[in-house]
């Protein structure tokens, strides 16, 4: 995959479905070379193929944000293949524990959510920061949720809300 020297590169986490998939589609239409991060590479490749059948605007990359080795490999791969990162969209998130409340929460589930939803973006930012710092127009977009808003927090969905 070749990228023009002036073509911006965007990395999207959890790009194989949902909001992330649509973000990949729209960024590609805006002229970005999009790295569609997916923890299951095959699912990522399928999504990339559906969105960009010619395969010259969206490329899938294995990325599991709660796995430091996977995050480091992704950053290395982007550096070697594309040479730059201008935009990072931290979109991936783990299950929405609608069934739980703070007083009955399984703290193991909460810890897993924090590893994906809080430390995940943090890991990916750390790994891509050197390339982002080299960009003339770097952007980091951390996708959040009203569920994480303190003003509307009730104690429901504790793992999702807190993380």
Ligand X SMILES: NC(=O)c1ccc[n+]([C@@H]2O[C@H](COP(=O)([O-])OP(=O)(O)OC[C@H]3O[C@@H](n4cnc5c(N)ncnc54)[C@H](OP(=O)(O)O)[C@@H]3O)[C@@H](O)[C@H]2O)c1
Binding site for ligand X (CB under 6 A): 13-14, 16-20, 39-40, 63-66, 91-94, 116, 143, 145
d(C-alpha 62, C-alpha 33), whole Å: 16
For the CB of residue 6, give the shortest distance to ligand X in the complex, in Å.
Answer: 29
Residue nearest to ligand X (CB): 18
Phi, psi of 49 (to 5 degrees): -65, -40
For the CB of residue 5, give the shortest distance to ligand X in the complex, in Å.
Answer: 30
For the CB of residue 152, give the shortest distance to ligand X in the complex, in Å.
Answer: 12
- The total of other beta-carbon atoms located within 10 Å of residue 147's CB is 17
d(C-alpha 48, C-alpha 15), whole Å: 9
Q: Tokens for 31?
A: 């002229």
Q: Which is nearer to ligand X, 24 or 132 (CB)?
A: 24
Q: Which is nearer to ligand X, 134 or 145 (CB)?
A: 145
For the CB of residue 63, give the shortest distance to ligand X in the complex, in Å.
Answer: 6
d(C-alpha 113, C-alpha 22), whole Å: 23
């Amino acid at each position: 995959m070749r990228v023009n020297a002036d073509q911006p590169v965007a990395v999207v986490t959890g790009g194989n479905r949902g909001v992330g998939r649509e973000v990949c589609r729209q960024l590609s239409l805006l002229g970005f070379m999009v790295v569609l991060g997916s923890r299951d590479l095959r699912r990522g490749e399928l999504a990339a193929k559906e969105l960009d059948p010619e395969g010259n605007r969206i490329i899938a990359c294995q990325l599991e944000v709660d796995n430091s080795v996977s995050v480091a490999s992704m950053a290395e791969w982007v550096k070697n293949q594309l040479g730059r990162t201008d935009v990072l969209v931290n979109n991936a998130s783990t299950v929405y524990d609608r069934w739980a409340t703070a007083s009955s929460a399984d703290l193991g589930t909460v810890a897993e959510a924090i590893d994906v939803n809080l430390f995940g973006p943090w890991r990916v930012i750390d790994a891509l920061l050197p390339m982002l710092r080299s960009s003339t127009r770097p952007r980091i977009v951390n996708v959040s949720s009203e569920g994480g808003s303190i003003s509307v927090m009730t104690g429901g969905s504790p793992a999702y809300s807190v993380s």
